[in-house]
A and B are shown apart, each in its own frame.
Chain A
């Protein structure tokens, strides 16, 4: 019998482990993301594939529309933080195309917008957790809309960031309960999807986006 972690997808295989899932101690945690036992579901034998494809929507047209009035309006409404992320991503995009000067220029613009970003009133970790919980309520609807409109790119990013967000919630909840769990171990972030991992060595592959472990980078402590 196999059990799948509802957060990161890790499979606990009773046969391989030699211990029945039910016999694991109550405080047992997922070795990848730290989720508790209660977050695991038994895996049906024919239930290891992806979810079925949604019903077909009309094929997108090949023409390129000019920027819509709606889009123009929205562009002005992007926050400084969103614009910073937009530009730092274009910086990465130029980097992989070997356009180093262009990358540097997008980096300058991203830095400008980051310097203009103001944090909302907050209470630290608790505020982040409540914002995470609010995001987690929005993913289902956003994914359904992306699937309906056959936007595979949006569906991909929503799927990944929902998983990385669930894992971040687990990590922050553990931190709130016992901050000492971060002592004498490493904190890693997947440089591609944002998956957070607490442990001595990063996993061989990112459980969210499947890049090899060398893309999962250690976060440096210190002042």
Chain B
């Protein structure tokens, strides 16, 4: 089994098709525009030959999450909590106001708060979907789901993701 597979960024690809020219297994010879992951052997020839660097090699097994200091986690989480509250306020205002300017600016704030909140919380140890931290989080949801929680979604993720810890 390869340790890496090739992935094409379709926003960058200009269909020079050097990948197709060099690929030893025909994995780039697809209708979807994406690499056929079942055929890719992870050699990296396509990524090296692409004149636009539109292909990158994605590791199949990622390194472990580096240990996080509890105090750093606590401080970053506190700010992400504030962002989530601000997002909830902006969302409610955007959804209820009749004022078009207020709605517009609150939509922007809602989006911005979400993006900042996402980025903050991912740096507390949830950067990688395949990490042990995410596995334990999903397991905790399945074991003790809050009311109405989509348990099947968490179960399917636990089955599908190739966790590294």
Q: Does B30 contact A (CB under 8 A)?
A: no
Give residues in B with beta carbon < 8 Å to A: 7, 34, 37, 58, 64-93, 99-109, 111-124, 126-129, 132-134, 136-137, 140-141, 146, 148-150, 153-154, 156-157, 160-161, 165
Chain B residue nearest to A63 (CB atoms) is B67
Q: Could you say which residues of chain A place their CB within 8 Å of the CB of B71?
A: 145, 149
A196 touches B109 (CB 8 A): yes
7 more contacts with CB within 8 A, not counting A105-B153, A128-B90, A157-B122, are A84-B84, A124-B93, A141-B75, A151-B68, A172-B105, A182-B104, A189-B108
Chain B residues within 8 Å of A194, by CB: 111-116, 119
Interface residue? A50 (CB, 8 A): no
- 30 CB-based A-B contacts, threshold 8 Å: A81-B84, A81-B117, A82-B80, A89-B118, A90-B126, A90-B134, A98-B7, A102-B129, A105-B160, A109-B141, A112-B149, A112-B150, A116-B146, A117-B87, A118-B88, A119-B92, A122-B92, A125-B102, A135-B79, A135-B83, A138-B75, A138-B82, A168-B109, A171-B108, A187-B105, A189-B108, A189-B115, A191-B115, A194-B113, A196-B109
Interface footprint category on A: 35 or more
Nearest residue, chain A, Cβ from B145: A112
Interface string of A88-102 (1 = CB under 8 A from B): 111011100111011
By DSSP majority rule, is chain B's interface helix, strand, loop, or mixed? helix
- State the Cβ distance, B89 to closest chain A Cβ, in Å: 5
- Which stretch in A4-12, A16-24, A158-166 binds the other chain? A158-166
Q: Is A183 at the interface (CB under 8 A from chain B)?
A: yes
**Residue A43, interface by CB 8 Å:** no
Contact check, B107 vs A219: say whether CB atoms are below 8 A apart: yes
How far is A83 from B103 in the complex, measured between Cα atoms in Å?
25
With the chains together, A192 CA to B7 CA distance in Å? Answer: 20
Write the chain B residue with the least CB distance to A180: B101
A71-115 to B contact mask, C-beta < 8 Å, 1/0 = 100110011011011101110111001110110011011001000
Closest 9 CB pairs of A and B: A81-B84, A194-B115, A194-B112, A89-B118, A85-B117, A119-B88, A142-B75, A149-B69, A64-B64
- CB-CB under 8 A from B107, the residues of chain A are 187, 219-221
Q: Report B-chain residues with C-beta under 8 Å of the C-beta of A106.
A: 129, 153, 157
**In the complex, A51 has a CB within 8 A of chain B:** no
